[in-house]
Chains A and B, each alone.
Chain A
Amino acid sequence: DAGVIQSPRHEVTEMGQEVTLRCKPISGHDYLFWYRQTMMRGLELLIYFNNNVPIDDSGMPEDRFSAKMPNASFSTLKIQPSEPRDSAVYFCASSQRQGWDQPQHFGDGTRLSIL
C-alpha cells in the first residue's frame, strides 16, 4: 500500500506569495494531521481532521494559514500571504481509526523556504 504522499517536496517562493501544500493520506485512514517542524520549536501540530471534518485547529499560527479536506483522499494547507518565518518542513500524517493507541503514518514532508 502506498504511504502518505505529499507534494511538492520542496518549495521556494518570495514573501507575500500564496503557498499551497498537498497531501494524499493512506486509503482507509480516517484521521489526517498537519505538522510543522523547525529546529527551534520541533514538531508542532497545526490541525487535524476526522472523516474530512476539521476537529482541532488551535495549532494554526495565524489567519494566514488555512487547511481543507474536500474528500477522504486529499487535503491542502494554504499560506496566504507567506512570510519568511513560515519557512519550515511541513508534514502530513494519517492514522487508521480513532484511538490514542493508533500510530501515525507520515509523509516525507514539504520543505518550504520563504525568501
Chain B
Amino acid sequence: SQQGEEDPQALSIQEGENATMNCSYKTSINNLQWYRQNSGRGLVHLILIRSNEREKHSGRLRVTLDTSKKSSSLLITASRAADTASYFCATDPSRNSGAGSYQLTFGKGTKLSVIP
C-alpha cells in the first residue's frame, strides 16, 4: 500500500511564483525524502529530512516535517520553467530498520508545471 501521498496531484503556476506540495504518510518514519522526475527521466534526489528535524533548506527548496500530523511539505521559491517536473515524497517506515530492511515507499507524485 502507498505510504506517502502527495497533494495536489497537479499544480500549475507562473514563473516566479512559489510552489508548495504536500505529502502525508501513515506510519512512523525514520526519514522522509523528496525526489524530482523530469519527463522521460529517472528520479533525482532533492533533499532528506530526518524524523527529529522540523525544517530544512537547500537553495530554493524548503522542506518541513510535522511528525504529529504525519505530513511534510516541499516549497520551491521563485519557480523557474526548469522546475517543471513531477515531485515525489519517499518514506522509510521506522519498522524497517529493526528488520534490517532499507526500502523506500514512494507516493504517486505532484506534477508541477511552471509557465514562462
Question: Once bound together, how far apart are the Cα atoms of A108 and B39, in whole Å?
Answer: 10
Interface size class of A (residues with CB under 8 A): 20 to 34
Q: What is the count of residue pairs linking A and B with beta-carbon distances less than 8 angstroms?
A: 53
Residues of chain B within 8 A (CB-CB) of A108 are: 40-42
Contact (A42, B106) CB under 8 Å given A100-B31, A100-B97: yes
Contact with B along A92-104 (1 / 0, CB 8 A): 0101001111111
| CB-defined contacts of B30 to chain A, threshold 8 Å | 100-101
Asked whether any CB of chain B lies closer than 8 Å to the CB of A18, the reply is: no
Say yes or no: A91 contacts B43, CB within 8 Å. yes
Chain B's interface size range is 20 to 34
State A106–B33 Cα separation when bound (angstroms): 14
A22 vs chain B, min Cβ distance (A): 15
Q: B109 contacts which chain A residues (CB < 8 A)?
A: 42
Contact of B33 among A4, A98, A103, A107 (CB under 8 A): A103
| Cβ–Cβ < 8 Å partners of A93 in chain B | 42-43
